[in-house]
Amino acid sequence: MERHEILQYAVRLAESQPGGTLATTHEVTGAPYITYVLAHLCADGRLLFGSGLARQHSKNILASPPVSFLFDSRSAVASDWTAFDRVSIDGDALVLPPGHPHYERLLSQIAAKSPMAAYFTRHGVLFSVEPRRLTLSRGLDPNRHIVQFPPPVP
């Protein structure tokens, strides 16, 4: 698959799911910390979600920005294992404050997908995961379709 095809497929899968699994590193213990968050995948591979700063995953991100995120179609497993698709995104999560030049545009993308996700964002902070790598796994296909992203510009 070409880069644009992988990204398009990933966005379609993410659109079909209200959220996914976020993996962070616990700020105190250093252990993996897993939670479910409502999220939106942008066409460029950037992942957006909102959260309150008092939540453990938010504290973890502020202490250590590298995260992994998983969207999947696990509900398909019950009826058609071959339709079980997964998209993982690895990158650094950054807080975009309300005054950020792209804040309102990104918040409107979240709101279009999920009013509840927009609520969490408005009452917390907007996290943007700047991707380093996106991996698409489709059904029983043994191939992993990978998109590498250039390092962010400071």
Q: Which residues contact 124 (CB under 8 A, 6 or more apart)?
A: 50, 51, 52, 53, 55, 58
- Domain of residue 67, residue span: 3-148
List, for residues 96-137, the tens digit of each pLDDT value. 999 999 999 999 999 999 999 999 899 999 999 999 999 999
Token pair belonging to 95: 């807080």
**Helices 103-113 and 115-122, interaxial angle, to 10°?**
140
Whether 63 maps to a domain, the answer reads yes
Number of independent structural domains in the chain: 1
Residue 143 in domain: yes
Residue 71 belongs to some domain of the structure: yes
Inside any domain, residue 153: no
Whether 134 is in a domain gets the answer yes
Bridge partners, residue 136, by sequence? 87, 145
Q: C-alpha dihedral over 8, 12, 14, 17, to 10 degrees?
A: 180
- CA–CA gap between residue 51 and residue 95 (Å, rounded): 10
Residue of 134, 152, 120, 99 whose CA lies nearest to 3: 134
Q: In tens digits, what is the pLDDT along the chain, a chain of 154 residues?
A: 999 999 999 999 999 999 999 999 999 999 999 999 999 999 999 999 999 999 999 999 999 999 999 999 998 888 888 889 999 999 999 999 999 999 999 999 999 999 999 998 999 999 999 999 999 999 989 999 999 999 877 6
Residue 26 sits in a domain of what CATH number? 2.30.110.10
Rounded distance between C-alpha atoms, residue 32 and residue 154, angstroms? 27
Domain annotation covers residue 154: no
Question: By the 8 A CB rule, do 35 and 22 touch?
Answer: yes
67 pairs with which residues across the strands?
91
Question: Nearest to residue 133, comparing CAs of 45, 10, 53?
Answer: 45
Indicate the pTM of the whole model: 0.93
Q: How many residues does the chain have?
A: 154
